[in-house]
Amino acid sequence: MAMDTTALKSFLAVAEMGSFTVAAAHLNLSQSTVSGHIRKLEERLQAQLFNRTTRRCELTTAGEALCVRAQEVVGAADRLIEAFVPSYLGGAIRLGIPEDYHLFPAIMAAIQEFLASVPKVSVSIDASLSERHRKGLRDGYLDLAVMRRPVGPDTDPTLARSPLVWIADPGLDLDGDAAIPLAHVSGPCQYFRAASAVIEAAGDQWRSACSCSTLEGVRAGVRSGLGVGAMPIEDCTDPSLIRSHPRLPPLPQFSLIVEVSSVDPPVIVRALADRLRRFVGQVA
């Protein structure tokens, strides 16, 4: 009886993360697809693999027994692919990444390791806003992307999270009733969206004081005293700019996701996505 390694990978993801929803997000599959994989496995093995509750899925005795064997099978299949990938795979991969500078070393290290194993492959990189990358995946001009999104109940726990912080020149006066001046990236920037949303939720007002095309432009505007910005704490290169004030509400955390443009991407795209997940998951 042949066994589908795709279904086994879904099984292992659910076993590791304890959630169909989180596992589906990690695999870039729909929850119904992952559920279908598990259902088919249970039917073929004639055993229940998970005890399901409203909050978590736990392995049954049969599931625990399968977990060890599934890891061996999937690992062997992956090693087989990796052994042959350098000899016959080639092509170009179009990768979108966020402009968060602190992520660049991890992303470049993942790409370097990947390219060492596939010398015939090239990677082109587009550093831009996550919303633009999401459109690029949908429209087909990106193959995969590393993107930011607010932390939520389905956030992949294996990938790095970053808190947003307010940054402002120490001399910027935020007292009084004037609208809070914001320095931000132009376009559909999630950090700008989060900053304006928490200000509005607190019953306060804001205005766009400085709109730039890059995070470096936001930092420059903030250092010049033009306004207040919001960005991941790791990208605040000058700790003296981190600002707290009664009019600046707490900001949300953002997580990383690695998404591909199709449910069944080419082997080389899946291989790069796996390396990116491993490397950016180690970013503190």
Taking the C-alpha atoms of residue 280 and residue 226, their distance in angstroms, rounded to an integer, is 33
Separation between Cα atoms, residue 168 and residue 177, nearest integer Å: 18
Query: CATH number for the 5-85 domain, one of 1.20.1250.20, 1.10.10.10, 3.10.450.50, 3.40.50.2000?
Result: 1.10.10.10
Core vs surface per residue 63-81: b (16+ CB within 10 A) or e: beebbeebeeebeeeeeee
Structure tokens at 279: 């490397």
The dihedrals phi and psi of 250, each to the nearest 5 degrees, come to -60, 145
Residue 249: predicted pLDDT = 96
In order of 89, 104, 123, 127, 146, the CA distances from 92 in angstroms are 10, 20, 6, 17, 17
Which of 3.40.50.920, 3.20.20.70, 3.40.190.10, 3.40.50.460 would CATH assign to domain 90-153+255-280?
3.40.190.10
Strands (E), the chain: 50-52, 57-59, 91-97, 121-127, 144-150, 161-167, 180-185, 206-212, 229-232, 253-260
All CATH 3.40.190.10 domain ranges of the chain, comma separated, are: 90-153+255-280, 162-254
Q: Name the segment(s) of the chain with CATH classification 1.10.10.10.
A: 5-85
Considering the entire predicted model, what is its pTM? 0.68
- Kindly give the confidence (pLDDT) of every residue in the chain, 284 residues in length, as a single tens digit, with 9 standing for 90 and above: 456 788 898 999 898 888 888 888 777 788 899 999 999 999 999 999 999 876 778 899 999 999 989 888 887 876 676 666 554 556 789 999 988 888 889 999 999 999 888 887 889 999 988 889 999 988 888 999 998 888 877 777 767 788 899 999 999 999 988 999 999 998 888 999 999 999 999 999 999 999 998 888 899 999 999 999 999 998 888 899 999 999 999 999 998 889 888 766 777 888 899 899 888 876 64
From edge to edge, which strands make up the β-sheet containing 161-167?
A: 121-127, 91-97, 144-150, 253-260, 161-167, 229-232
Supply the pLDDT for residue 36.
92
Q: Which of 153, 139, 27, 6 is nearest to 70 (CA)?
A: 6
Q: Which CATH architecture has domain 162-254?
A: 3-Layer(aba) Sandwich (3.40)
